[in-house]
Amino acid sequence: MAFSVCFVCIGNICRSPMAESVFRARVDEAGLGGLVVVDSAGTDGWHEGDGADPRTVTVLAAAGYESDHVARRFRASWFSRLDLVIALDSGHHRALRRLAPTPADADKVRLLRSYDPVAADLGDLDVPDPYYGDDDGFEECLRMVEAASDGLLDAVREAREGRAA
């Protein structure tokens, strides 16, 4: 059975699709493409059906990442099929934990930057929303996502190995 990871931000057009694209690339590079399912969603449905913000697409393309995305809203019923729900900031983290049907489901919710040792040591775990800013905010968002992705990949590998044992 595949291990499932879903990244969540507010509208699913900036941060979470960026994290989805970067992490999917890491999963594929690690040869885990068929073993780890990567997805994203938003806590709110404002942009359901829309593509990723053009600035997200531009920043991803410039860094060599693919992006084929349609925004959607996270549903509580998804917890049963997900192994990890990765929040992009503490507000999403709180909202997702409240939405979780069970305590076990709430335990699946983690902050992305908790997988970046430098950010975790500093206690700086939010990925700021770049939507209302300029292109620099999107580039900074990408740097934060990339910095946390290797640690998340290690955690997913460990969890998969623990399942197989």
What is the tens place of the pLDDT at every residue in 86-101?
A: 999 999 999 999 999 9
Residue of 14, 15, 53, 105 with catalytic role: 15
Residue of 6, 9, 14, 141 with catalytic role: 9
Name the residue among 36, 44, 47 with its Cα closest to residue 3: 36
pLDDT band of residue 161 (cuts 50, 70, 90) is: confident
- Phi/psi for 135 (5° steps) reads -60, -30
DSSP β-bridge partners for residue 4: 37
Mind listing the pLDDT tens digit for each residue in 6-59?
Answer: 999 999 999 999 999 999 999 999 999 999 999 999 999 888 889 999 999 999
- Phi/psi for 78 (5° steps) reads -70, -25
130 close to 14: Cβ distance less than 8 angstroms: yes
Specify if 1 maps to a domain: no
Q: Catalytic: 141?
A: no
164 close to 157: Cβ distance less than 8 angstroms: no
Name the residue among 131, 54, 46 with its Cα closest to residue 88: 131
147 close to 115: Cβ distance less than 8 angstroms: no
Predicted TM-score (pTM) of the model is 0.96
Residue of 126, 129, 150, 160 with catalytic role: 129
Mind listing the pLDDT tens digit for each residue in 47-87?
Answer: 888 999 999 999 999 999 988 899 999 999 999 999 999 99
Q: How many residues does the chain have?
A: 165
Specify if 156 maps to a domain: yes
Per DSSP, the three-state class of 128 is: coil
CATH number at residue 43: 3.40.50.2300
Q: Catalytic: 129?
A: yes
Q: For residue 55, what are the domain limits?
A: 6-164
> How many structural domains does the chain have?
1
Specify if 13 maps to a domain: yes
What is the strand order of the sheet 84-87 is part of?
36-42, 3-9, 84-87, 109-111
Specify if 71 maps to a domain: yes
Q: Catalytic: 26?
A: no
Mind listing the pLDDT tens digit for each residue in 108-147?
Answer: 999 999 999 999 999 999 999 999 999 999 999 999 999 9
Q: Are strands 109-111 and 84-87 parallel, antiparallel or unpaired?
A: parallel
Across 135-163, average pLDDT: 95
The per-residue pLDDT for 83 is 97
